[in-house]
Each structure stands twice: as C-alpha cells, then as structure tokens.
Amino acid sequence: METSVIGYPRVGALRELKFATENYLKNHLTKERLQSTGLKLREAHWKTQQSNGVDFITSNDFSFYDNMLDTAVLLNVVPERYRKLGLDILDEYFAMARGYQGEKGDVKALAMKKWFNTNYHYMVPEMEDETKITLAGTKPFDEYLEAKKIGIETKPSIIGPFTFLKLTKFSGQKEERDFISDIIQAYVDIIQKFEQLGTKWIQFEEPALVMDIYEDDKKLVEKLYRPMLSTKGKLKVLLQTYFGDLRDCYREVTDLPFDGIGLDFVEGNKSLNLIKKLGFPKDKKLFVGIVNGKNIWRNNYATTVKIVKELAEHCEKLVLSTACSLLHVPYTLKNENKLLKAHKKYFAFADEKITELSQLKIVLSSKDPTLSDEYKKNIELFSQKRAGQNSTVQSVVSTLHEQDFVRHPNFEKREKIQKSTFDLPLLPTTTIGSLPQTTEVKENRSKFKKGKISFEQYTQFNKEKIAEWVSIQEKIGLDVLVHGEFERNDMVEYFGENLDGFLFTENAWVQSYGTRCVKPPIIWGDISRSKPITVNYSVYAQSLTKKALKGMLTGPVTILNWSFPREDISLKDCAFQISLAIKAEVLDLEANGIRIIQIDEAALREKLPLRQSDWHSEYLDWAIPAFRLVHSSVKPDTQIHTHMCYSEFKDIIKNIDAMDADVITFEAARSDLSIVDVLKESGFKTEVGPGVYDIHSPRIPAVEEIKEALEKILTKIPLEKLWVNPDCGLKTRGENETIPSLENLVAAAQKLRERV
C-alpha cells in the first residue's frame, strides 16, 4: 500500500514565511532573501515527508500568498489594472493580493473569499473580456525541478480547470464558455510540459466537484478533461477531490481516463457507498482520503482499517491519503512544550498525521492488522474515558426549552424602543471592535504572559490605551465607540482562555489568508464560564464617555467554528454549552450598564454545508438557535449587534434575520458590496452596516470614495436602517492608517447627513 499527502502547510513551523514576506513588503528584506526562505521551507517540507516514507509528495503546494492566485498568474489571468502598474512579476503578484498604493499607481486588491468550508481564504481570479488565458508562468515546473534536484520525485499539484472556472469572477461581458477552449489549451500545455520533464504523476485539485453539481457542470467537466487527458503520454493524472463526496457526478468522473481519483472518506459521507454501489474502475488507483486534514484528533485506526478493508473488496489499487491538504492543521506537536502528555497523545498535527499514514501503511500491510503494536496502542487510546466532563453543564443543555431561544418583544417593537432611547444620528458611525494593535500593545500582552509584569501593570497599560482611544474616537466623531480589544490576541482564543474546557497551543498556527495565521484553541471538554470576562474593561471604557460604548463578545458558533472541535460529542451540544457561557457574560454586561452589545458571529457562514440539501439538517437548525440562546433574555432597550465576515449570504439571508439581532455589520468592501443587492431582494429587516472600506490593505480611502460606496448602498438600503462602519479587523492596521481612514469615514457620513 502506498501513501499520499494532498498538500503540506507552507508558512513554516515557526511562521518563517509569514515574517519573511511581511519584511519584504515593508522593504526590510530583499527579494532574494524572500525567495531563499521559500526554497528552504519547500525543501524542508519535502524532506519531512520523504523521511516518513510518503510515496506521493506534493510540489507546488507552496505559495507566497495563495494557490488560486498562483493558478491565475500561471494562466495569465491578470487584470489590466495590475499590469498597468508596470511592476515586476512578484510585486505584481503582491499587488493583486494586497492592493497597491505607491508611485506607480493606486489599485485595490482582488476580492477574497472563503475556501469552501474552511477558514482559509483564496483570492478570487478575475477575467476581463481582454483576458487571454495561456500558460504564462513556470512556478509548478520550477518547484518540481527543485525537488527533483534534491532527489525527490513529487507530484505537482494544480487547481483543476473546473474549480478554477467555478471560482473565477467574470468582470466583463464574456462568460465561462468564452474561455473554455483557451483554458483547455493552457492545461494541455501544462500536461505536455510535465510530460517533457519526465514527471510521473500530476495532481489536479477539484474540490468544486463535491458541491451541488448539475447537468451543465457535468458537461463542463467532460468538455474540459476529455481533450486534456487525451494528450497525455506517460504522465499519470490524479483527480483529487476533498471536503465532501462526488454523489452528483461519481459516474461521470470515474468514466474519464484519469489514472487516479482521490476521494474524501472523512467529510464525504457518501464516498464509501458510492463505491460499494457503483464500483470503481480496475485500472485506476483510488486515493483514500482517510486522515483528517482539518481536525487535530488522532486517527481512529479501527475505523480506518474497517473502511480500507471494505474498499479493498471493490478496488485493487489503494493509496492511503490525507482527506484534504494539511494546510488546515498546524505543523507539529514537537513545538508544543506546555501541552500535557496526557492531552498530547490524543492529537496529531500535520507531521504526526504523516506518521499516522506511515503507521497505517504498516498496519494495513500486515496479515492481521489488529495484531500490530501500533494498532493496539491506538485502540487503547480510543477506549479510555477522557477527563473534562461537567455534569452541570450537560444537564442544563439537555433541559433547554423552546422559549429559551426567543427574545421578547419582537424586532419591530424593539427597533422603535431603541430609536428613542439611543439618541443616534442618521447613518450612525461605528467600528467593528478591534483597534490597532501596536507593538506596545502586543508587548504588553506578551510580557504579562511571560510573567515579566504584574496583572496590575498589564491592566493599567490596557486602561491607558482604552482611554487614549476613547478620546481619539470622540475626536474623530464616531457615534458608537468600542474599547478596542487591546487585551485580545484573537477573538476566539481570548474567550477560550477565559472559559473552562479549552486547551491552548504555543505554535499551532494555521494560515487564514496571505501572511495571516490563526491559532485555534482545542475544545477538550465541557464548556463553562466561572467568572465575568469582559465586564471590567467595557465598564471602564463606558465610564470615560457619554456616548454609547459597545460591549464586544464572540458568539458561540464562531467560537466553535474557529476552534478544533471535539469529535466525541455533537457540534450542536458543544455550541449550546458555549452559548450558555456567553449568555452569562451578556447578562453581566447589561447589568453593569453596557447598553449595546455586539456578539460577533464572524464565522457563522463558514461551516455551512457545501450542499444546500444539508444546510438545515446538519447546521442551521442548531447554529441559529445557538446564537438566539445567547441574547434571548436581554431587555428590549439593550441593543444587540452581530457581525459577520466575508459572507455570501444570498441563500441564507432569511436565516440571518432569524438570528434576531438588532443590528448586523458585514464585511463587504472586498466583495464589491455585492451583499447589498442581496439584502434588498430579501427584504431584510435587521439594521445593517456593510463595511464601506477594506481594512486588509494599507491604503487610506478618500472621503469621496467612501461617500460613493455609501451612496451606492443607499440605493438599496433605507436610510434609517443603515450604519456606517469599516470592515472588521482594524487591529491589523497601524494607527497612522486607521485614524485618517476613520476621519474620512465620519466625514463621508456627515456629508450625506447634510443632504437629507
């Protein structure tokens, strides 16, 4: 039996690539040094896999920013506005990724969206009518040769043409079909080039195939791959899918002359049944995606052995594989010195998953797998009862009643009450919560964590920072202020640290987008709150101003979605446990005079099942109630805000209204405010604040630019319903970028108010 890894993380176990890239972008590092950091990491990653005996090691999974963007550049899909800057290849690439503001021009970045149901974000390729798709780059070939040079034969991986087209935005008149023949030719050229290089296998990643697939899509797959595959000689082609199963197109895909097909047996509920029912072609290798690439719990060998045995009855050539790229899990447990052994033994990060693959290879190659040592050890681990149970929490969750999820009075009545209690102007201005985390802010936290300063010193600094920014916000003229979240490293980690039931890592970073990484906590046991978390800082901030100050919390679904969840209880039960803990915090804030409370559900959309038929039963039917449970018992004149990131809400907009918040802010600027059309069409009732400028880029938006964005929004959203705010995440920007940007935002709102 062979083993395969779909992709390996690339930022570096200690985030070396992140730091190198950021330094390069600040002009603190030369291009050559950046390139050599990349090379070193690639080599190290290949060698780790080689030393663990992985048979199919991937290349071209490396990226300076994002693999979709790499593919776009490879295919010459570079919008004219970036070309016009006249930058060199790498800087043009970064201009597409981050926007550019400098002596050569001023352009925004490409749109960015969530990568399927993960917390990774990809850059949305944009095709203009003038775009001429053609093989224009050498990255996959270069990286293949680099590996070869150190004696490692890799399978280069490239996003397949179907997924590429499905995720691309067509900005002109032309549509998907106008680009088909060119894209086929470009992929044929890729195949030919690898053929010349003597490459053995190439991997096309086609996660879009696990979505709802209709007749047109099936035809498109056939149309793209038939001619592509007819040109291959010795080179073998693996069609790699992940994040679900191929229930809509299994037959069509397996009929195509691929040499290998990779299926997901972790998230692909139907994969096994499809094979049992419809069989699997004898001449193809089946890449069995069985080692979870998204969660950090150890693989259950009993389950795996059982599935592989069943598969072996239907397929002759099996390759054990990760279920998706390991990009979505941290590197290694080796850098975790604080996690207890008793905990660690339950976890597997990327490197440990690779070890699992090699252990499973041995286990499964033995005559009776159940007799092997590794198998026995694994069985023992899974049969032990884990610590971390809390029977009180369990019993509260099990006795929740329908009324616990309903807020009174209804939205319309509350809106009236709140309009009169809060004396806010039209188009009230606010921010989404965090304010710039300067070096001193980060240093303060890290000194405290390391025990170098006392709790009093630590808190004192945060309070000074809060006072400084309450005054800055007042000067800027914002209407609803925030305390700034200076005490938070991360919106989920912070709450996790203050609740019981979570475990934390030191270096378990996972790439979220570009150079940005997150360190998700691990939900280990039952969750509860033993003391107030945010009350002190919020109350202090409110004491400094007459304006309303928003308390700032993270919602249950987001805490769950941005943590590594348990696999031994349901997501629903886990979400309700978190809801009860956050609810206690909401009530404490309210009791202490905080009248506006924002409960961020940044990640609510993220775990929506990829197939519409699963949305309610598998997710929304507990996720929306989990949010309602948090705020259902506040007073009518307490205003509940929520916030969501990068969301495409088209189809679930009604469910967002059903969260029954009073105000919702969206991250919108980077997706061209397209959310606004959706709001109008759906007759959305909740007051809204679509982010009017993109905070991911260092550029400062002009008053006019923001005013125009608002005018555009006002053609769709009634004036009385609209809030004015930037996108979320100001903590990632500098003070010198944030203050003028917010001044411009307030000025834009004021200009519009003057007109009405």
Q: Which is nearer to ligand GLN, 260 or 726 (CB)?
A: 726
Q: What residues between 564 and 603 interact with ligand GLN by CB under 6 A? A: 600, 602
Q: Which is nearer to ligand GLN, 9 or 433 (CB)?
A: 433
Residue ranges at the known binding site for L-homocysteine: 432-434, 485, 600
Nearest one of 687, 723, 692 to 708, comparing CA atoms: 692
The runs of H, that is alpha helices, within 554-650 are 556-561, 571-591, 615, 621-631
- The residues, any chain, with a CB within 8 Å of residue 303's CB and separated by 6 or more, are none
- The residues, any chain, with a CB within 8 Å of residue 148's CB and separated by 6 or more, are 154
Greatest Cα pair distance, the chain, in angstroms, is 81
Q: Is 256 in the site for ligand GLN (CB under 6 A)?
A: no
What is the dihedral angle through the alpha carbons of 606, 607, 610, 611, rounded to the nearest 10 degrees?
-130
Residue ranges at the known binding site: 15-18, 114, 119, 432-434, 485, 516-517, 562, 600, 606, 643, 645, 667, 728
Q: Is 298 in the site for ligand GLN (CB under 6 A)?
A: no
Nearest one of 657, 647, 606, 648 to 627, comparing CA atoms: 657
Specify the stretch interacting with ligand GLN by CB under 6 A; choose among 166-174, 430-438, 498-506, 669-677: 430-438
Name residue, tokens 């990760």: 322
Specify the stretch interacting with ligand GLN by CB under 6 A; choose among 38-46, 71-79, 305-313, 724-732: 724-732
CA gap 202, 195 in Å, rounded: 10
Among 9, 156, 433, 555, binds ligand GLN (CB under 6 A): 433
CA gap 325, 14 in Å, rounded: 19
Q: What residues between 523 and 552 interact with ligand GLN by CB under 6 A? A: 552
Q: Which is nearer to ligand GLN, 433 or 520 (CB)?
A: 433
Q: Pairing between strand 522-528 and 500-503?
A: antiparallel
CA gap 369, 389 in Å, rounded: 33
Specify the stretch interacting with Zn ion by CB under 5 A; choose among 453-461, 659-667, 701-709, 731-739: 659-667
Question: Among ligand GLN, Zn ion, none, what does residue 731 contact (CB within 5–8 Å per kind)?
Answer: ligand GLN
Among 728, 746, 748, 749, binds ligand GLN (CB under 6 A): 728
Other Cβ atoms less than 10 A from the Cβ of 84: the count is 11
Number of residues that bind Zn ion (CB under 5 A): 4
The runs of H, that is alpha helices, within 279-410 are 301-312, 341-344, 350-365, 373-383, 391-398
- The residues, any chain, with a CB within 8 Å of residue 174's CB and separated by 6 or more, are 127, 129
Specify the stretch interacting with ligand GLN by CB under 6 A; choose among 125-133, 268-276, 565-573, 726-734: 726-734
Catalytic residue selected from 45, 121, 631, 696: 696
Name residue, tokens 């950046």: 34
Q: Is 728 in the site for Zn ion (CB under 5 A)?
A: yes
Among 127, 275, 602, 742, binds Zn ion (CB under 5 A): 602
Q: What residues between 632 and 661 interact with ligand GLN by CB under 6 A? A: 643, 645
Confirm if 139 and 55 have CB atoms less than 8 A apart. no
Helix, strand or coil, per DSSP, at residue 556: helix
Q: Is 552 in the site for Zn ion (CB under 5 A)?
A: no
Among 352, 667, 687, 694, binds Zn ion (CB under 5 A): 667
Q: Is 645 in the site for Zn ion (CB under 5 A)?
A: yes
Q: Is 518 in the site for Zn ion (CB under 5 A)?
A: no
Catalytic annotation present for 696: yes
449 burial via Cβ count (<10 Å: 0-12, 13-18, 19+): exposed
Among 42, 98, 155, 731, binds ligand GLN (CB under 6 A): 731
Residue 331 has φ and ψ, to the nearest 5°, of: -70, -60
Q: Is 432 in the site for ligand GLN (CB under 6 A)?
A: yes
Q: What residues between 214 and 253 interact with ligand GLN by CB under 6 A? A: none
Q: Which is nearer to ligand GLN, 351 or 727 (CB)?
A: 727
Specify the stretch interacting with Zn ion by CB under 5 A; choose among 94-102, 315-323, 506-514, 726-734: 726-734
Counting every residue written for the chain, the total comes to 756
CA-only gyration radius of the chain, Å = 26
Q: What residues between 303 and 362 interact with Zn ion by CB under 5 A? A: none
Question: Among Zn ion, ligand GLN, none, what does residue 707 contact (CB within 5–8 Å per kind)?
Answer: none
Other Cβ atoms less than 10 A from the Cβ of 13: the count is 21
CA gap 353, 347 in Å, rounded: 9
Strand partners, 260: 238, 285
Confirm if 263 and 289 have CB atoms less than 8 A apart. yes
CA gap 475, 486 in Å, rounded: 20
Site string for ligand GLN, 602-621 (x = CB under 6 A): x-------------------
Confirm if 81 and 100 have CB atoms less than 8 A apart. no
CA gap 296, 131 in Å, rounded: 41
Nearest distance in Å: CB 646, Zn ion:
7
C-alpha angle 634-638-642 in degrees, rounded to nearest 5? 90
Q: At what angle do helices 139-149 and 31-51 cross, to 10 degrees?
A: 60
Q: Which is nearer to ligand GLN, 71 or 429 (CB)?
A: 429
Q: Which is nearer to ligand GLN, 324 or 552 (CB)?
A: 552
Helix, strand or coil, per DSSP, at residue 550: strand
Catalytic residues: 696
Residues found near ligand GLN in the complex (CB under 6 A): 432-434, 491, 552, 600, 602, 643, 645, 728-731
Residues found near Zn ion in the complex (CB under 5 A): 602, 645, 667, 728
